[in-house]
Structure 1
Amino acid sequence: MAVFEKVQDIIVDELGKEKEEVTLETSFEELDADSLDLFQIINDIEDEFDVEVDTEADMKTVADLVKYVENNK
């Protein structure tokens, strides 16, 4: 499974969204994700990919997060 699909699954599970709502271009703001949601998503991603996510990194979209994981795993 590609990084995007795993990240998408995590976001869908955490936010209760439909897969179709979570695309690479989708912003976390569009998903109505608050800071607690983002914290949980990041924790799940760190566990799934065994990567440390820099919370100071500028990640506004799903693509930003996927690219970060791909570059740091």
Structure 2
Amino acid sequence: MERSEMLAKVAEVAADVLGVSEDQITEQTTFDDLDANSLDRLQLVTAFEDEFDIEIPEDRLLGIASVADALDAIEASQEA
């Protein structure tokens, strides 16, 4: 899957979980920009895992602070 396709899915999932517009979400968007707290971030990771049928290792969770970080983690998990 192309990164742009993944970005569209990540934006859709994040918008749904956080109750924001997909238009607010770019690869450079941080989850702080979207007012996501730690529980929101955990819900996001769980939703990404479900959407992409992957498992993101626990040691990567703390490093996911932006959409770009989420995309990197998803790509790495798909390649594993």
TM exceeds 0.5? yes
Shift of 1:33: 0.3
1:65 equivalent in structure 2: 70
| 1:16 corresponds to 2:19 | yes
Query: Structure 1: any 5+ residue segments left out of the alignment?
Result: none
Shift of 1:8: 0.6
| 1:6 corresponds to 2:17 | no
Aligned residues: 73
* RMSD value, Cα: 1.4
Q: Take 2:72 and 2:9, find their aligned partners in 1: how far apart are those partners? A: 13
Shift of 1:69: 0.5
1:31-42 to structure 2, matched below 5 A, reads 31-42=34-45
Q: Take 2:57 and 2:36, find their aligned partners in 1: how far apart are those partners? A: 18
Query: Structure 2: any 5+ residue segments left out of the alignment?
Result: none
Shift of 1:64: 0.8
Whichever residue aligns with residue 34 of structure 2, its letter is: L
Q: Take 1:22 and 1:5, find their aligned partners in 2: how far apart are those partners? A: 9
Percent of matched pairs sharing the same residue: 36
